[in-house]
Amino acid sequence: MSAPESQPQLPSDLRTRVLEAVRKEPMAPRLEGARRRAVTVALGFVVTAGILLAISLPATRGRPIPYIAALVLVWTPIAVLATWSGVGRGGSMLGRSPRWLIATAVVTPVVLLLSWIPVAFYWPETLIDTSETIHHVRCIVVTFGLAVGPFVAFARVRRGSDPIRPWLTGAAIGTAAAAWGAVALPLICGFTSARHMLIGHVLPVVLIAAVGAALGQWLVAIRAKTE
């Protein structure tokens, strides 16, 4: 038999910090809290839609329409799953286990890339384009912009909820938000080569996850009230 898995060492003041967060939590009915969270997330996606329209109306830009539709349809469930695993608490007040959060941050960009491959090979003409470094950088920046709304919404939903590893929760939140940015990007980006998809569409998911990790302590950590 294998040795039992060691439990993570909890901070000595964990109980105090959690109770403090509970005391500061408004005693709103459960349905009201769920409604507020839904509105927050919806507003986040409205921001993404506004940015998308402000940059450019969705256009084929020389790409087959079925290719665009297929990629969005394939990537949307991945973004949904990343949101469920990275933002949801999984029935625990402290959120999902570190394994879930690590899997969200690591597996999501890999699955996005792997799921793009069969779509691209079904339309092999999309594998050749004239993208250059400036186009890769532009898509990275645009993905950051498209992810802002979901990122702020997800961070607000999970605000003050993680007393143990907020950086990991922040990384998962960033990954989920970036996945939605990746879903929206094919609607306006006209470049589809393997190099561009890797650098301009998948790499930003990793970068935004890193930003989420860096901001996790500030965004989602439980802070004990200081006198």
Higher pLDDT, 14 or 187: 187
Higher pLDDT, 51 or 69: 69
Whether 66 is covered by a domain: the verdict is yes
Whether 2 is covered by a domain: the verdict is no
Q: In this model, does residue 227 exceed pLDDT 50?
A: no
Whether 111 is covered by a domain: the verdict is yes
Structure tokens at 63: 């790409």
Q: In this model, does residue 28 exceed pLDDT 70?
A: no
Question: How far is residue 207's CA from residue 49's CA, in Å, rounded to a whole number?
Answer: 21
Q: Which residues contact 48 (CB under 8 A, 6 or more apart)?
A: 146, 147, 148, 149, 150, 180, 181, 184
Q: In this model, does residue 99 exceed pLDDT 80?
A: yes
Whether 22 is covered by a domain: the verdict is no
Please give the pLDDT value at position 181. Answer: 92
Please state the pTM of the whole predicted model: 0.77
Whether 18 is covered by a domain: the verdict is no
Whether 45 is covered by a domain: the verdict is yes
Q: In this model, does residue 12 exceed pLDDT 60?
A: no
State pLDDT tens for residues 159-169.
877 788 899 99
Whether 97 is covered by a domain: the verdict is yes
Please give the pLDDT value at position 24. Answer: 52
Range of the domain at 204: 31-219
Q: In this model, does residue 129 exceed pLDDT 70?
A: yes
Whether 110 is covered by a domain: the verdict is yes
Residues 90 and 161 sit within 8 Å (Cβ to Cβ): no
Number of domains in the chain: 1
How far CA 225 is from CA of 16, 22, 24, 52, 222, in Å, comes to: 10, 12, 10, 40, 9
